[in-house]
A and B are shown apart, each in its own frame.
Chain A
Amino acid sequence: DAGVTQSPTHLIKTRGQHVTLRCSPISGHKSVSWYQQVLGQGPQFIFQYYEKEERGRGNFPDRFSARQFPNYSSELNVNALLLGDSALYLCASSLAKAYNSPLHFGNGTRLTVT
């Protein structure tokens, strides 16, 4: 079975632009989460979606938004990009929505903002 797939793999954007990152969960997984990993740090929680509804939001500005589609895939949108948004964006899926369900991560999208 395919794991979590993310696209694109790499992306270079200019300050002020908008970006959309995409994620397809493992088949059968209904929960999708997004994490930001700045170089040299651990991943930081951005959003969790389950059955198309937002279940959690981390401490990120409103420039960050996401949604989940009926097939459980998800998009992360970031508006008005800042240099500080440069990071590896990780998508994770899990079988259940609860705190004890392991997250299974994709390879990430590396976003560079110049």
Chain B
Amino acid sequence: AQKVTQAQTEISVVEKEDVTLDCVYETRDTTYYLFWYKQPPSGELVFLIRRNSFDEQNEISGRYSWNFQKSTSSFNFTITASQVVDSAVYFCALSEAEDYGQNFVFGPGTRLSVLP
């Protein structure tokens, strides 16, 4: 069963618009981490943020912000005043403590296109 769902396959916005990327996860573990990665056309996955299951504080970093809600098993990512350079595929990932090691489970990704 898929553990990470990113329902939005593709999103297109015009530059300077705000955009929210949705991530819903499924786990029976009480201890886990959630991650967001960005994959530009070059192919390299770039680490953006991690959040542990005990920390529901939202976080803001520049134009990026993250909303973690355990009650709905969601970890959404918002880009404010989007820019063309934000165009990429964004992945949400889950890492569970009960899994021995670093078996990151990635969602299918959301392709974001920011148009000038």
Tell me which of A88, A90, A99 contacts B101 (CB under 8 A): A99
Q: What are the residues of chain A within 8 A of B44 when measuring CB–CB?
A: 3, 105-108
* Interface range, B side: 20 to 34
* B64 interface residue (CB < 8 Å to A): no
Q: What are the residues of chain A within 8 A of B105 when measuring CB–CB?
A: 45
| Contact (Cβ within 8 A) B97 A99 | yes
By the criterion of a CB under 8 Å from any partner CB, how many residues of chain A are at the interface?
A: 32
Tell me which of B43, B95, B97 contacts A88 (CB under 8 A): B43
| Contact (Cβ within 8 A) B102 A56 | yes
Contact residues of A between 60 and 97, Cβ < 8 Å to B: 88, 90, 92, 94, 97
| Contact (Cβ within 8 A) A97 B109 | no
**B-contacting residues of A (Cβ < 8 Å)?**
3, 31, 33, 35, 40-45, 48, 50, 55-56, 58, 88, 90, 92, 94, 97-108, 110
